[in-house]
């Protein structure tokens, strides 16, 4: 969703801001802008559309100055227009904002009565006018006073002509990081924006205000008390957030999965054996998450039931938070989120904590709000994921949940040590098998070429394969805009089979021997109604699958518990090549954002 960048130093700010905004493009946005201060004079350039438009604007009318802030906006209050784009100005102040000011209407009324003139429809403009109204020569104080009046979530960056050598920023519920350079400071809502300049970052906590000068940064709490800060060194490099020769980030990230799986395994399973991933010995493990992360939770539910023998459920975060909870004394709730900033997941985690449940987070983002809210945090070691469609973060979420289930199964006595060792050694062999699948995408590419005008597709599976079918369907629809549905294989005949018509592709995902015949018989039911059927399965099922399916796609044989990790690769490639064949904006699908920070 929205992105923030900031720079103060000896270099011209304009280019650094535009480069930083480009590195945040993946978050999704529909307008962009920058404000640069030259001496004590603020200049603003902003427009609806892509950063390329903003670049054109700044080429025609450049902004000079070594201090500035920038923003990409994903419209919530008011359409994506030039006027609604950030920065917003009031008096001698310019502001960029991520998040939502919930009491903006009341503030707008009050400030209008005081004589302020609003020009945009945004909630942000209320924050700009409020700061301007409160400013009496001390911006730190004005921000602290404004914090008492602003309701909602915000990350704000502020420039003021009266203080021409400072950037102020503050956060509540929306991330902000300060990058520390030599004689220069950077600001961003997301680490990739500043990786080309520095890997030393300070992650701001909620209700903290940072004051950036060329010489350094000072961080204050809401009472104005300074906090001692020590930069943290990020181990991602800038190249990890670049395309490296691939046509799209999504394809690059799909191909990085063997390494991501290897990295996550090494982080949790060294020469001393498997680490404890969850605190204590929970008797029940529930998952809360959204979208793809929810599908990882569905797979996790299966692993915890099968391997640890504990009750487990996966919940959609936006539903969980409004449902009546029945906390179990031995329960742990694990919130799963690649970004660690998804508003629905954060709210659900807070509900679980308020109900007295032990909480844990599973995230790909060190220092994210989720990891700090939860009592304990597990990380996935996927590296930065830039494409909006989650691929490597998802695979490492499923892998980490598998490891956590193995660990709990060993500790609660549900899993024999030999079986656990068998699973771990199969996991060590997995990256090579993944490479085999990734090296041969041509048949998927050709399939997409033949089916690019298909109007509808179905994905079916049973047990954990239903979770995989859900994810395959989401991936395909979000990047290719092709209408598709996922069903528990036995459920299709209860209504949706009415949609099956001549040539509609139906994919059956089959990783479990015990469910193979049942799922194939459901596939046959669709074929009898004209569907073109595809079975995606391990090599050992190929002959059996070929008796019922028109087409069989295989992955190398592996332990049944690990097959879901392999089987998702052709499904991700299907989504990618279909989107590419249809000429979609693969890495930045329409209407979507990488991290969804509104509820
Ligand atoms: O950052 P999160 O993992 O919390 O994001 C949750 C969903 O918004 C996300 O998985 C979304 O469904 C992706 N676009 C899937 O590719």
Give the separation between CA 388 and CA 391, rounded to whole angstroms: 9
Looking at residue 324, what is its pLDDT?
87
Q: Decide whether any atom of ligand 1 lies within 6 Å of the 463 Cβ.
A: no
The CA dihedral of 123, 368, 237, 391, to the nearest 10 degrees, is -90
pLDDT band of residue 74 (cuts 50, 70, 90) is confident
Looking at residue 211, what is its pLDDT?
98
Query: Cβ distance 3 to 24 under 8 Å?
Result: yes
Instruction: Report whether pLDDT(599) > 80.
Output: no
Q: What percent of the chain has pLDDT over 90?
A: 82
**Where, residue-wise, is CATH 3.40.50.10490 in the chain?**
243-439, 441-586
CA of 499 to the centre of ligand 1 (A): 28
Instruction: Report whether pLDDT(592) > 90.
Output: no
> Regarding the domain with residue range 3-240, which homologous superfamily does it belong to in the CATH classification?
Aminohydrolase, N-terminal nucleophile (Ntn) domain (3.60.20.10)
Question: Atom 14, ligand 1: which residue's CA is nearest?
Answer: 389
* Beta strand 505-509 pairing with 358-363: unpaired
Give the separation between CA 345 and CA 460, rounded to whole angstroms: 27
Give the separation between CA 445 and CA 503, rounded to whole angstroms: 19
Tens digit of pLDDT for each residue in 483-492?
A: 999 999 999 8
Q: Write down the CATH number for the domain with range 441-586.
A: 3.40.50.10490
Instruction: Report whether pLDDT(598) > 80.
Output: no
Q: Decide whether any atom of ligand 1 lies within 6 Å of the 380 Cβ.
A: no
Specify the DSSP class assigned to residue 42.
E
Give the separation between CA 372 and CA 175, rounded to whole angstroms: 12
Looking at residue 327, what is its pLDDT?
85
Query: Cβ distance 369 to 344 under 8 Å?
Result: no
Looking at residue 392, what is its pLDDT?
97
Residue of 459, 507, 452, 442 whose CA lies nearest to 481: 452
Specify the DSSP class assigned to residue 496.
G
**Where, residue-wise, is CATH 3.60.20.10 in the chain?**
3-240
Mutation test of ligand 1: which of 287, 321, 390 has the most ligand atoms closer than 8 Å to its C-beta?
390
Looking at residue 383, what is its pLDDT?
87
Q: Decide whether any atom of ligand 1 lies within 6 Å of the 337 Cβ.
A: yes
Residues 6+ apart with CB under 8 A from 7: 13, 16, 17, 20, 66, 67, 68, 184, 185, 186, 187
Question: Atom 2, ligand 1: which residue's CA is nearest?
Answer: 337
CA of 290 to the centre of ligand 1 (A): 6
Q: Which atom of ligand 1 is nearest to the CA of 593?
A: 14
Comparing 362-371, 393-402, 427-436, the range with the smallest average pLDDT is: 362-371
pTM of the model: 0.77
Q: Please tell me whether residue 504 adopts helix, strand or coil conformation.
A: coil
Q: Please tell me whether residue 48 adopts helix, strand or coil conformation.
A: strand
Query: Which residues are the active-site residues?
Result: 2, 594
CA of 374 to the centre of ligand 1 (A): 19
Instruction: Report whether pLDDT(348) > 90.
Output: yes
Residue of 54, 49, 61, 48 whose CA lies nearest to 17: 54
CA of 291 to the centre of ligand 1 (A): 5
Q: Decide whether any atom of ligand 1 lies within 6 Å of the 478 Cβ.
A: yes
Q: Which atom of ligand 1 is nearest to the CA of 339?
A: 1
Quick one: residue 309, left, alpha or beta (phi over 0 = left, psi -120 to 50 = alpha)?
Answer: left
Question: Residues 566-587: what's their mean pLDDT?
Answer: 96
Question: Residues 64-77: what's their mean pLDDT?
Answer: 92
Instruction: Report whether pLDDT(463) > 90.
Output: yes
Looking at residue 237, what is its pLDDT?
66
Give the separation between CA 186 and CA 5, rounded to whole angstroms: 7
CA of 388 to the centre of ligand 1 (A): 8
The label of the residue with tokens 């990891």 reads 371
Looking at residue 239, what is its pLDDT?
66
Comparing 322-331, 335-344, 469-478, 523-532, the range with the smallest average pLDDT is: 322-331
To 5 degrees, how large is the angle CA 372–CA 152–CA 67? Answer: 80
The dihedral through the CA atoms of 294, 298, 300, 305 has a sign that is positive
pLDDT band of residue 442 (cuts 50, 70, 90) is very high
Q: Write b or e for each residue in 87-104: b if 16 or more Cβ atoms lie within 10 A of its Cβ, otherwise e.
A: bbbbebbbbbbbbbbeeb
The CA dihedral of 22, 28, 29, 32, to the nearest 10 degrees, is -10
Give the separation between CA 598 and CA 154, rounded to whole angstroms: 11
Tens digit of pLDDT for each residue in 319-338?
A: 998 988 888 889 999 999 99
Q: Decide whether any atom of ligand 1 lies within 6 Å of the 290 Cβ.
A: yes
Instruction: Report whether pLDDT(357) > 80.
Output: yes
> Regarding the domain with residue range 243-439, which homologous superfamily does it belong to in the CATH classification?
Glucose-6-phosphate isomerase like protein; domain 1 (3.40.50.10490)
Question: Residues 22-39: what's their mean pLDDT?
Answer: 88
Tens digit of pLDDT for each residue in 558-575?
A: 999 999 999 999 999 999
Residues 6+ apart with CB under 8 A from 221: 207, 208, 209, 227
Looking at residue 238, what is its pLDDT?
64
Residue of 341, 339, 280 whose CA lies nearest to 310: 280
Q: Decide whether any atom of ligand 1 lies within 6 Å of the 292 Cβ.
A: yes
Could you give the angle at which helices 51-60 and 13-23 cross, rounded to 10 degrees? 170
Two structure tokens written together for 4: 């923030």
Q: Which atom of ligand 1 is nearest to the CA of 342?
A: 4
Question: Residues 549-555: what's their mean pLDDT?
Answer: 97
Comparing 204-218, 350-364, 454-468, 584-598, the range with the smallest average pLDDT is: 584-598
Mutation test of ligand 1: which of 248, 290, 471 has the most ligand atoms closer than 8 Å to its C-beta?
290
Instruction: Report whether pLDDT(235) > 80.
Output: no
pLDDT band of residue 460 (cuts 50, 70, 90) is very high
Q: Which atom of ligand 1 is nearest to the CA of 594?
A: 14
Give the separation between CA 488 and CA 510, rounded to whole angstroms: 12
Q: What percent of the chain has pLDDT over 70?
A: 99
pLDDT band of residue 243 (cuts 50, 70, 90) is confident
Residues 6+ apart with CB under 8 A from 262: 431
Q: Which atom of ligand 1 is nearest to the CA of 291?
A: 12
152 forms beta bridges with 101
């Amino acid at each position: 969703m929205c992105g923030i960048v900031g720079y103060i130093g000896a270099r011209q700010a304009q280019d650094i801001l535009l480069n930083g905004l480009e590195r945040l493009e993946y978050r999704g946005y529909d307008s962009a802008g920058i404000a640069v201060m030259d001496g004590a004079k603020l200049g603003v350039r902003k427009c609806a559309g892509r950063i390329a438009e903003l670049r054109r604007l700044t080429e025609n009318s450049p902004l000079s100055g070594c201090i500035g802030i920038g923003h990409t906006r994903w419209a919530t209050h008011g359409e994506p227009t030039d006027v609604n784009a950030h920065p917003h100005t009031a008096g001698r102040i310019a502001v960029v904002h991520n998040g939502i000011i919930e009491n903006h209407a009341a503030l707008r009324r009050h400030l209008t009565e005081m004589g302020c003139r609003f020009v945009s429809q945004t909630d942000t403009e209320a924050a700009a006018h409020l700061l301007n109204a409160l400013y009496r020569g001390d911006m730190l104080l004005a921000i602290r006073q404004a914090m008492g009046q602003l309701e909602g979530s915000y990350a704000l960056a502020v420039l003021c002509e009266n203080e021409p050598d400072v950037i102020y920023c503050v956060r509540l519920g929306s991330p902000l990081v300060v990058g520390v350079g030599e004689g220069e400071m950077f600001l961003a809502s997301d680490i990739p924006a500043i990786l080309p300049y520095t890997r030393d970052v300070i992650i701001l906590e909620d209700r903290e205000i940072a004051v950036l000068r060329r010489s350094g940064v000072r961080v204050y709490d809401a009472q104005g008390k300074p906090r001692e800060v020590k930069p943290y060194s990020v181990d991602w490099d800038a190249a990890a957030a670049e395309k490296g020769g691939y046509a799209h980030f999504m394809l690059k990230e799909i191909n990085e999965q063997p390494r991501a799986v290897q990295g996550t395994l090494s982080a949790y399973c060294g020469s001393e054996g498997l680490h404890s991933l969850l605190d204590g010995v929970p008797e029940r493990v529930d998952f809360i998450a959204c979208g793809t992360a929810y599908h990882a939770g569905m797979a996790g539910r299966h692993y915890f039931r099968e391997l640890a023998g504990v009750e487990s459920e996966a919940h959609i975060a936006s539903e969980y938070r409004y449902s009546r909870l029945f906390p179990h004394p031995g329960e742990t709730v694990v919130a799963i989120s690649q970004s660690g900033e998804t508003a629905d997941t954060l709210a659900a985690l807070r509900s679980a904590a308020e109900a007295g449940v032990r909480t844990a987070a599973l995230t790909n983002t060190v220092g994210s709000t989720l990891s700090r809210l939860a009592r304990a945090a597990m990380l996935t070691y996927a590296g930065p994921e830039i494409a909006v469609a989650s691929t490597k973060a998802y695979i490492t979420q499923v892998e980490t949940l598998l490891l956590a289930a193995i660990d709990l199964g060993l500790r609660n006595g549900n899993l024999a040590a030999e079986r656990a060792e068998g699973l771990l050694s199969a996991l060590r062999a997995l990256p090579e098998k993944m490479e085999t699948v990734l090296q041969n995408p041509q048949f998927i590419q050709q399939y997409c070429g033949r089916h690019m005008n298909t109007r509808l597709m179905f994905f079916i599976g049973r047990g954990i394969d239903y979770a995989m079918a859900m994810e395959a369907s989401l991936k395909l629809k979000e990047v290719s805009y092709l209408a598709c549905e996922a069903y528990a294989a036995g459920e299709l005949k209860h209504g949706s089979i009415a949609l099956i018509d001549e040539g509609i592709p139906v994919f059956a995902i089959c990783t479990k021997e015990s469910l193979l015949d049942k799922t194939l018989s459901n596939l046959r039911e669709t074929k009898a109604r004209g569907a073109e059927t595809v079975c995606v399965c391990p090599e050992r099922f190929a002959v059996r699958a070929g008796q019922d399916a028109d087409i069989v796609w295989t992955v190398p044989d592996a332990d049944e518990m690990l097959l879901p990790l392999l089987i998702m690769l052709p499904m991700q490639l299907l989504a990618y090549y279909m989107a590419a064949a249809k000429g979609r904006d693969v890495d930045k699908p329409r209407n979507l954002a990488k991290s969804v920070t509104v509820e």
